[in-house]
Amino acid sequence: MRLNYCSQRLPGNELIHLFEKYLFACLLAVLSHIMALIRGSLVIDESHHHATSNISRDLIKDIGPKLTIEVSATPDMENPDEIVSVTLEDVKLEGMIKKSVILNPNFKNVLSGNSLKTKLVDGTDAMVLEEALKKREEIAKAYKEADIEINPLLLIQLPDRKTQAEDQVKNNVVLILKDKYGMTTENGRLAIYLSGEKENLENIAKNNHETEVSLFKQAIALGWDCPRAQVLVLFRDWKSLTFSVQTVGRIMRMPEPDTGHYAQDILNYGFVFTNLADIEIKEDMARKYVTIYTSQRIESYKPIKLKSVYRLRQREKTRLSPKFINIFLDEAKKYDLEKKIETKGQKLEQSLISDYKAEDVDKLANKEIKGEAKINTENEADLQKLYDFFVKNNLSPFYPEDRSIGRLKEAIYYFFRMRLGMAYTNRFAEIINIVLSPKNSRHFINVIDSTKEKYIAETQKREAELQKSADWELPEILNYCGNFTELKTELSAMQPFYYDNKWKTEEAFIKFLEKSDQIEWWFKNGDRDATFFAVPYEENGERKPFYVDFIVKFKDGKIGLFDPKNGNTITDARAKVDGLRSYIKANHKKNLFGGIVANKNSQNFKARWMVYTGAGADLIPNQWKNWGLLQDVIEN
């Protein structure tokens, strides 16, 4: 059986390194029951490089695997039995990568077809570098205010050397960084990764590394991995550039994948600064990922402080979070674990196959370990191998990835330190012998099993809960990709206003709002996380967020909440109608009103706009007797 594991819309070889942990977890969770039964499985990473040559093909033939999993962003495989793809949006929602990469923020960009023109084209290399360094400082300040120990890295990418001109650009940059900003390789703030020069690269990927700026060339694209990199600079000596995800792949990763996206939104974006005159936005997912437009909230805006809800992304469903440790300690106390285990003179007598190595653990899952060679119960390396096997074998249904393995180990270590006064740093061998001895292992497995049950129940409960925001405000800045176009408006609270042209009903409603002399501003709401406004509603016993399409501030102080509908979408809105109605009633002091709105002519929207404020059960499409004239509701 051959399985081609790829991301078909993710061009750029280095992106496998961005997504492989998440994608492997998804894939191997589905195949875990197969892998346990099938011997001779083969996983080939970067298969477009490592599985296509004649030597590789001969080697694969000699191995003769029953199951082959090929991992590649650009697959090259004939007749695979199955292809597994994961979209960029799924990885983004998981918090593994940044929400988007913003191109030349605060400088106007104009996209015509695939060709992009930017105002920063008039700027010198020194100006581009200055803007990029300002953004890096802004990001660093946000990390510090959030008490997150990450030092964001600014990357300056130079094209591969063709003439001495490229060397001159490099020398000029190094001189500017030294004379104006005090950044040198000597003081550790500058790193260089060029073919003939490598400085300050050791441990540069560590989140709190002192290096702030790194110079490098295109040649290191494949496999280069530094998650704290967040700002990229490309000078005009590139002549021209086609923006694809491969171009921005180095600044896409989130530095703390366990945490995902942060509360401070600036930390969830990457930034590119360039004065290139010839820029093309490639027609791949880069067009949806690279942000080229920025809209800002109007200066006359005054706070409205609305209560809002949003759904918390549940990453704990597939991996263990830190709360697992607390649950383990509670379950150990309920089980009376410290009294049931024996701690004195515990020695392992279990034998282990002589060639057993840590990397063989996956093959041994759910199997008894047998062999002739006895384990040296004093040898920490041997004990660590068997301990790893024990932990992995008891993680199901959670995928045994490194973070989850470490979390379970940590929970056990905490138990010994807090309940028995034994620190694993100086009593590691003794602790492992106690855990894995025949008299004790069953007790630890019982506590692990009850902890997993409690943990799963709590994460399912959290998934159903909606998070609350007491003082939601319109976002100060919104960023848009190349799929959006500017729509000229006078009353939009965000200027310029960008629109994706998806829904004719919404566009017609905007035209209606623009004609009103009673409106102070209107805001086209989004439909994700805590950035946008939502009211709670219940459908089929589940509480959900309803992202109302329009928030309208009137000159008399009233705030309207309107959601344009058309045809069948009116019928589907019954539960949302009740949720919005209850929200308005509960927050009557905010002077709120609104409901579902629709035009009586759904073809050209030239008829009157109607609003429905009744109960969801009475909502019937194209029967207007229960609806009110929107203009009358506004005036009253």
Check whether residue 473 and residue 455 sit in a common domain. no
Q: Are residues 82 and 105 in the same domain?
A: no
**pLDDT score of 228 more than 90:** yes
In angstroms, the CA 25 to CA 401 distance is 8
Q: Is the pLDDT of residue 587 over 80?
A: yes
Within this chain, do residues 117 and 59 fall inside the same structural domain, yes or no?
Answer: no
Q: Could you tell me if residue 94 is inside a domain?
A: no
Tell me the pLDDT tens digit for each residue of 34-93.
444 445 678 887 665 656 677 777 787 778 888 888 876 556 666 777 777 777 777 887
- Please state which of the ranges 169-183, 259-273, 451-465 shows the lowest mean pLDDT: 451-465
Q: What is the pLDDT of residue 17?
A: 46
| Domain that includes residue 44, residue range | 2-86
Distances (CA, A) of 465 to 62, 294, 314, 458: 53, 33, 11, 11
Extract the tokens encoding 361.
Answer: 């653990």
Could you give the CA distance from residue 499 to residue 549 in angstroms, rounded to a whole number? 13
Number of neighbours of residue 513 by Cβ within 10 angstroms: 21
CB 75 within 8 A of CB 47: yes
Paired tokens of 224: 């280069």
Q: What are 129-149's pLDDT values in tens digits?
A: 999 999 999 999 999 999 999
pLDDT in tens, 365-420: 444 444 444 555 566 777 788 888 888 888 888 767 777 888 898 899 999 988 88
Asked if the structure places residue 93 within a domain, the reply is no
From 501, 519, 505, select the one nearest 599 (Cα to Cα). Answer: 505
Q: Which of 426, 445, 464 is the last residue of a domain?
A: 464
Task: State the Cα–Cα distance between residues 482 and 444, nearest whole angstrom.
Answer: 55
- Reported as type and span, the H/E element at residue 173 is helix 164-181
| Burial of 43: CB neighbours in 10 Å, binned 0-12, 13-18, 19+ | middle
> What pLDDT was estimated at residue 363?
45
316 inside domain: no
| Position 438 confidence tier, pLDDT thresholds 50, 70, 90 | confident
Final residue before a domain boundary, out of 86, 119, 147:
86
Rounded Cα–Cα distance for residues 226 and 155 (Å)? 10
Residues 170, 275, single domain; the answer is yes
Task: Give dist(CA 95, CA 252) in Å, integer.
Answer: 11
Residues of the chain by 3-state class (helix, strand, coil), percent to 5? 40, 25, 40
CA Rg value for the chain: 29
Q: What is the pLDDT of residues 461-506, one digit of tens each?
A: 766 678 888 899 999 989 888 788 899 999 999 999 999 877 889 9
CA atoms of 455 and 514, how far apart (whole Å): 51
pLDDT for residue 357: 42
Mark whether 529 and 618 lie in a shared domain: yes
What is the average per-residue pLDDT within 206-222? 80
∠347-431-375 over CA atoms, to 5°? Answer: 40
Q: Is the pLDDT of residue 442 over 60?
A: yes
Q: For residue 194, tell me if it sits in a domain.
A: yes
**Do residues 456 and 476 share a domain?**
no
Residue 278 lies in a domain: yes
Domain boundary among 417, 444, 464: 464
Q: How far is CA 599 from CA 148, 623, 624, in A?
A: 50, 12, 10
Is-contact 227 155, C-beta < 8 A?
Answer: no
We report the CATH number of the domain holding residue 514 as 3.40.1350
**Burial of 79 (C-beta count, 10 Å sphere; 0-12/13-18/19+):** exposed
Lowest-pLDDT choice from 210-219, 226-235, 237-246, 421-430: 237-246
Beta bridge partner(s), residue 101: 270, 290
Tell whether the torsion through CA atoms of 546, 552, 556 and 557 is positive or negative.
Answer: positive
Confidence of residue 449 (pLDDT cuts 50, 70, 90): very high
pLDDT digits (tens, 9 = 90+) for 520-573: 999 999 988 889 999 999 988 888 999 999 999 999 999 999 999 887 678 788
Looking at the fold, whether 477 and 624 belong to one and the same domain comes out as: yes
Whether 304 maps to a domain, the answer reads: no
Q: What is the mean pLDDT of the chain?
A: 81
Q: Give, as one character, the DSSP assignment of residue 530.
A: T
Q: Is the same domain home to 451 and 471?
A: no
Arithmetic mean of pLDDT, 572-590:
91
Question: Tokens 């890295």 correspond to what residue?
Answer: 153
Question: Same domain for 490 and 577?
Answer: yes
In whole angstroms, how far apart are CA 261 and each of 313, 468, 539? 10, 17, 28
Q: How many domains does the chain have?
A: 4
If you average pLDDT over residues 269-284, what whole number do you get? 81
308 lies in a domain? no
Specify whether 282 is located in the same domain as 396.
Answer: no
196 and 216 assigned to the same domain: yes
pLDDT at 330 over 60: yes
pLDDT of residue 359: 40
Residues 475 and 537 in one domain: yes
- Tokens for 282? 């490639």
The answer for residues whose C-beta is within 8 angstroms of residue 65's C-beta and 6 or more apart is 40, 41, 42
Q: Higher-confidence residue: 247 or 471?
A: 471
Residue 105 lies in a domain: yes
Enter the pTM of the model.
0.66
Query: Residue 617 in 3-state DSSP?
Result: helix
Q: Are 73 and 91 in contact (CB under 8 A)?
A: no
